[in-house]
């Protein structure tokens, strides 16, 4: 069996930089026409100039005939100013500004310490129509790690939506039923990305019978009732919800450690894994909307014209891949994946 549909985009991706980036970017470029590239390098991508240089490094790492367009983001710090937002908008290459609460996740030390103090720049973003992409977890050490998303909704998202009704916002990598309900009740200026690990797994996979560090990401996997709500949202055909892998490669030794870091590497088989989830939910016909249409519509970008073809053919994910000087263990290493990539049509999808 084969399925062919509009080429998908990945609306939340970590590519890293230099050699490490060069070893993972092809996996994404083979499948997706575009990806929103996260700015949490160290140091973070905080200016349009840095984003342009990073974009060029990504393009340089790809074969000349690659039909892939990186879409860039800036990292919001306490210092990001109005001029930079206007510059970002005018550049045409920056599609959003990413808000990481300081300390919430990997490389977020330079993040925002007080969202209220960023209200003036949010005004400018609203005026410019530049989307705010939100890592929606409080970094408050008093709040239980499993509750950090719900608490963020109450403390920050409800006020943000009230105070900036016209600002496009993406609630990134949602992990709870509460997030699904919040986003469903908002208008079309609120979107949400959903990762494949949050659709395929719950916290039992991470913790029952042993700690499995390759399933540790942030926001952390939640209980099964939340997983069920995410599957329902993703496969519902509701355009608020679209694909964002949050593929976040780390060297094997940094994950398999006494204090392992957060992030799942899913780019090696991202769309294939989503196909598995949609098939199991009896919703393969809704994969195209989620993976290829709603995200582009949200960002006000053209839908892709090329197509992707997947075939039902099982293969086993490798135990690891090269990752710069290191190895990265992919999500589902050594396990069978039901779908495989059969090909893409490259029809004019690269916008340079
Ligand atoms: C991401 C990373 O490694 O950069 N990690 C993760 O667990 N998702 C950061 C992020 O998106 O939170
Ligand atoms: Zn991320």
Nearest ligand to residue 264 Cα = 1
Give pLDDT, residue 108.
82
| pLDDT, average across residues 209-226 | 98
Is 50 exceeded by the pLDDT of residue 328?
A: yes
pLDDT band at 107 (very low <50, low <70, confident <90, very high): confident
d(Cα 352, Cα 349) in Å, to the nearest integer?
A: 10
Contacts of 107 (CB under 8 A, 6+ apart): 40, 41, 42, 44
Q: Specify the range with the lowest mean pLDDT, choosing from 55-69, 102-116, 199-213, 330-344.
A: 102-116
| Whether residue 350 has pLDDT greater than 70 | no
Mean pLDDT of the chain: 96
Whether the CB-CB separation of 279 and 338 falls below 8 Å is answered with: yes
| 262 Cβ closer than 6 Å to some ligand 1 atom | yes
Task: Classify residue 101 by burial, with Cβ atoms within 10 Å: 0-12, 13-18, 19+.
Answer: buried
List 114, 246, 285, 349, catalytic entry: 246
Average pLDDT over residues 46-70: 96
What is the structure's pLDDT at 72?
98
Cα distances from 22 to residues 19, 28, 59, 117, 239, in angstroms, run 5, 11, 10, 37, 32
Best residue among 38, 39, 44, 217 to mutate for probing ligand 1's pocket (most ligand atoms within 8 Å of CB) is 217
CA angle at residue 322 from 71 to 352, to 5 degrees? 20
Q: Ligand 1: distance of its center to the CA of 327 in Å?
A: 18
Give the whole-number percent of the chain exceeding pLDDT 90: 95
Ligand 2 is an ion; residues with CB less than 5 A from it: 246
pLDDT-based confidence at residue 296 (cuts at 50, 70, 90): very high
Stretch 309-338: mean pLDDT:
98
246 is catalytic: yes
Find, among 215, 222, 91, 50, the residue nearest to 148 by Cα: 222
Residue 352 — very low, low, confident or very high, per pLDDT cuts 50/70/90?
very low
**Interstrand relation of 307-316 and 10-13 (parallel, antiparallel or unpaired):** unpaired
Is the CB of residue 217 below 6 angstroms from any atom belonging to ligand 1? yes
User: pLDDT > 70: what percent of the chain?
Assistant: 98
> 318: helix, coil or strand?
coil
Phi-psi label, residue 173: left if phi above 0, alpha if psi -120 to 50, beta otherwise = left
Residue with the smallest CA separation from ligand 1 atom 5 is 263
Q: Looking at the chain, how many residues does it have?
A: 352
Render pLDDT for 128-171 as a digit per residue (tens, 0 to 9).
999 999 999 999 999 999 999 999 999 999 999 999 999 999 99
- Confidence tier at 347 by pLDDT (50, 70, 90): low
pLDDT over 70 (residue 349):
no
**Quick one: pLDDT band at residue 176, thresholds 50, 70, 90?**
very high
Return d(Cα 21, Cα 23) in angstroms, integer: 5
Among the ranges given (6-20, 96-110, 126-140, 304-318), the one the predictor scored with the smallest mean pLDDT: 96-110
Structure tokens at 194: 């959903």
Ligand 1 pocket residue status of 255, Cβ below 6 Å? no
Q: How far is the CA of 3 from the centre of ligand 1 (A)?
A: 31
Angle between helix 18-31 and 48-60 (nearest 10): 70
Q: Going by CA atoms, what residue is nearest to atom 9 of ligand 1? A: 106
Separation of alpha carbons 336 and 291, rounded Å: 22
Burial of 80 (0-12, 13-18, 19+ CB in 10 A): buried
């Amino acid at each position: 069996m084969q399925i062919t549909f509009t080429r998908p985009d990945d609306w939340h991706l970590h590519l890293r930089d230099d050699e490490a980036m060069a070893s993972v970017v092809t996996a994404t470029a083979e499948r997706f026409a575009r990806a929103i590239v996260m700015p949490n390098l160290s140091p973070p991508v905080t200016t349009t100039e840095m984003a342009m240089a990073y974009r060029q490094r990504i393009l340089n790492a790809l074969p000349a005939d690659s039909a892939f367009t990186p879409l860039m983001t800036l990292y919001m710090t306490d210092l990001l100013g109005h001029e930079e937002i206007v510059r970002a908008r005018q550049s045409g290459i920056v599609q959003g500004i990413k808000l990481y609460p300081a300390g919430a996740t990997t490389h977020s030390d330079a993040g925002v310490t007080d969202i209220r103090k960023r209200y003036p720049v949010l005004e400018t973003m609203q005026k410019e129509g530049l989307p705010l992409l939100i890592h929606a977890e409080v970094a408050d050490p008093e709040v239980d790690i499993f509750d950090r998303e719900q608490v963020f909704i109450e403390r920050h998202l409800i006020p943000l939506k009230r105070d900036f009704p016209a600002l496009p916002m993406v609630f990134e990598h949602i992990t709870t039923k509460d997030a699904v309900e919040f986003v469903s009740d908002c208008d079309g200026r609120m979107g949400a990305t959903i990762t494949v690990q949050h659709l395929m797994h719950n916290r039992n996979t991470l913790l029952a019978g042993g700690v499995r560090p390759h399933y540790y990401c942030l926001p952390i996997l939640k209980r099964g009732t939340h997983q069920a709500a995410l599957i329902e949202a993703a496969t519902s055909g509701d355009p608020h919800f679209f694909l964002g892998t949050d593929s976040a490669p780390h060297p094997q030794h940094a994950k398999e450690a006494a204090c392992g870091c957060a992030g799942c590497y899913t780019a090696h088989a991202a769309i294939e894994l989503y196909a598995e989830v949609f098939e199991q939910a009896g919703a393969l016909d809704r994969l195209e909307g989620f993976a290829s249409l709603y995200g582009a519509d949200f960002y006000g970008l053209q839908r892709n014209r090329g197509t992707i073809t997947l075939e039902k053919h099982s293969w086993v994910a490798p135990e690891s891949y090269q990752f710069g000087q290191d190895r990265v263990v992919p999500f589902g290493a050594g396990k069978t994946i039901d779908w495989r990539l059969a090909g893409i049509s490259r029809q004019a999808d690269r916008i340079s």
